[in-house]
Structure 1
Amino acid sequence: MASETDRLRNNVREKLTRDQTVYSMTVRLVRSIEVASIARTAGFDTVYIDLEHNGFSLDTVGQICIACIGLEIAPFVRVPNTDPAFIARVLDCGALGIIAPHLGSAEDARSIVRAVKYPPAGNRSLAGLLPQLHFRALPAAESSRQLNDATMIIGMIESPEGLAAVEEIAAVDGVDILLVGTNDLCSALGVPGQIDHPLVREAYERCLNACRAHRKVLGVGGLGSRPDLIKEFVAHGARYVSTGNDLSFLIGAATQNRRQFA
């Protein structure tokens, strides 16, 4: 049995277990390990590297993940698709969570669980020494157990199909968080850009009810420009908040700085 100092910890999972809100910064621009320290200094609990909307290499992903682990910032990765082979490579790079876009059914969710978890929960292949465990050589049964316990699955609800199946998706064992992708959901519902539309509020309520029924966590995404809405959804029970990405932060701060000299 591993000692307490050998145990793999995920600060996000631990905070959610205590019903605390966790805050995430999306990484789309910065390709160097400094972004991990920036996230920690700014007070974020996690970063998620967005491979759906940028061209980062897996080498870049691995370097950022390892830097985050050393600073106890949980590194998550949004994958561009649900290919099990690609998901396995992302996890072997050091990710402590997979953000799966465009879930449309319970079977979609189960396929992610199979790709992320080691047997008996899934069918991920054991790679041996991994960065999440600081490359310690633990018995296979112990390393598999620790990685299964610490690695999180965040399923994105961002389509009418996903919304219709949200109750069944939330019921899938192994899924930890349902993250509403507000922008894509708005477009799919026919109200692009209208993030406070009644249809969007109804969608959040439906997702929250599904999460409560199955003891899962509701996540808020795509609302970085509306902190008032984020606070409202957190007050109603959301506990995972994607606040925005490094690119938008840089543009926003640079624009504000320039305007003060006008």
Structure 2
Amino acid sequence: MFLRDKLDLDAPLITAWSTSPSPEIAGALAACPFDAVTVDMQHGSHDESSAFASMRLIHARGKPGLLRIPVGRNDLASRALDMGFEAVIAPMINTVADAQDFADSMKYPPVGSRSWGPMRALELHSDQTPGSYFKSANRETLAIAMIETREAHAALDTILSVEGIDGVFVGPSDLSISWSNGEGVDPGRPDMQDALADIAKRAREAGKFAAIFAVDPASTPLYSKMGYRLTALNTDPGVINAGAALMLEAARG
């Protein structure tokens, strides 16, 4: 099932977050009961080689793969789709122009100007033909714009109105920096929670979806209640550390 189909079921989804440049770790995350795996090239250590190799192992485990590109790397966005990723998360989409440029790279004409060449994607999705892939790609490959500044929040409705933008992704740590005018990093800021709920509400009203990064896994139910349909759960080192802590606690009594 494609990530788009899972989102259309309107049940809360959780994605793992791969930062270590190891396809094996990404594949191991995909073998866990996460709904998807996101490979991070912005703040993670992945390069193109490790990211694309990770996508193959994620797919082998039957999970959708998402890629977060570095800021402004729209050329990499369309390449990620060619390699089989089902969604791309673009950071620092602050204006409608940013959103339009990103969407343009993600969608085939007449919506955008993505060029043809999804040979690796067709290898992974072997049930599709070139013709069926072309017809379905604009729906099934998702362009997700990050909302992480006051400027982006102010432009949210116009960003959501861009044809080809399928959803938004909130980075609460970066948003807290902007929200506090640079006072510090606090994704749980009490004065920001109404804004977080408002983003999810406005995305749904626009017929699109909202996703968010859960720095604290315990905040995931709250985000789901706000209307977020996809939550990113910590990072791969965080998962490893948490698992090790549980096993060591049991081992040491």
| Aligned residue number for residue 152 of structure 2 | 162
2:193 to 176, 195, 201: 201
| Aligned residue number for residue 77 of structure 2 | 87
Q: Does 1:246 align with 2:236?
A: yes
SS in structure 1 of the partner of residue 184 of structure 2: coil
Give the letter for the 1:214 counterpart: A
Cα separation, 2, equivalents of 1:253 and 1:187:
30
| Aligned residue number for residue 12 of structure 2 | 21
1:178 to 168, 178, 186: 168
| Aligned residue number for residue 118 of structure 1 | 108
Tell me how far 1:62 sits from its aligned partner: 1.3
| Aligned residue number for residue 41 of structure 2 | 51
1:33 to 24, 34, 48: 24
User: Under a length normalisation based on structure 2, what TM-score does the superposition of the two structures give?
Assistant: 0.88
Q: Structure 1 133/118 Cα, relative in aligned 2: closer, same or farther at 3 Å?
A: farther
User: Under a length normalisation based on structure 1, what TM-score does the superposition of the two structures give?
Assistant: 0.86
Give the letter for the 1:245 counterpart: T
Indicate conservation of the 8 Å contact 1:47/1:76, yes or no: yes
The percentage of counterpart residues that share the same residue type is 21
Cα separation, 1, equivalents of 2:244 and 2:126:
42
| Aligned residue number for residue 145 of structure 1 | 135
Stretches of structure 1 that go unaligned for 5 or more consecutive residues are 1-8
Q: Structure 1 107/42 Cα, relative in aligned 2: closer, same or farther at 3 Å?
A: same
SS in structure 2 of the partner of residue 54 of structure 1: coil
Q: Structure 1 255/155 Cα, relative in aligned 2: closer, same or farther at 3 Å?
A: same
Tell me how far 1:112 sits from its aligned partner: 1.0
Tell me how far 1:147 sits from its aligned partner: 2.3
Tell me how far 1:141 sits from its aligned partner: 4.2
Indicate conservation of the 8 Å contact 1:158/1:181, yes or no: yes
Tell me how far 1:18 sits from its aligned partner: 1.4
Cα separation, 2, equivalents of 1:150 and 1:31:
26
| Aligned residue number for residue 220 of structure 2 | 230
Indicate conservation of the 8 Å contact 2:122/2:128, yes or no: no
Cα separation, 2, equivalents of 1:49 and 1:178:
17
Q: Structure 1 34/232 Cα, relative in aligned 2: closer, same or farther at 3 Å?
A: closer
SS in structure 2 of the partner of residue 220 of structure 1: strand
Tell me how far 1:75 sits from its aligned partner: 0.6
| Aligned residue number for residue 216 of structure 1 | 208
Tell me how many residue pairs correspond in the alignment.
Answer: 250
Give the letter for the 2:5 counterpart: E
Tell me how far 1:150 sits from its aligned partner: 1.6
Indicate conservation of the 8 Å contact 1:129/1:135, yes or no: no
Give the letter for the 2:243 counterpart: A
Structure 1, residues 191-242: CA drift from partner, whole Å, max 9, x if none? 5343332332122122123212201112121x23251x32122123211111
Give the letter for the 2:69 counterpart: V
Indicate conservation of the 8 Å contact 2:104/2:164, yes or no: no
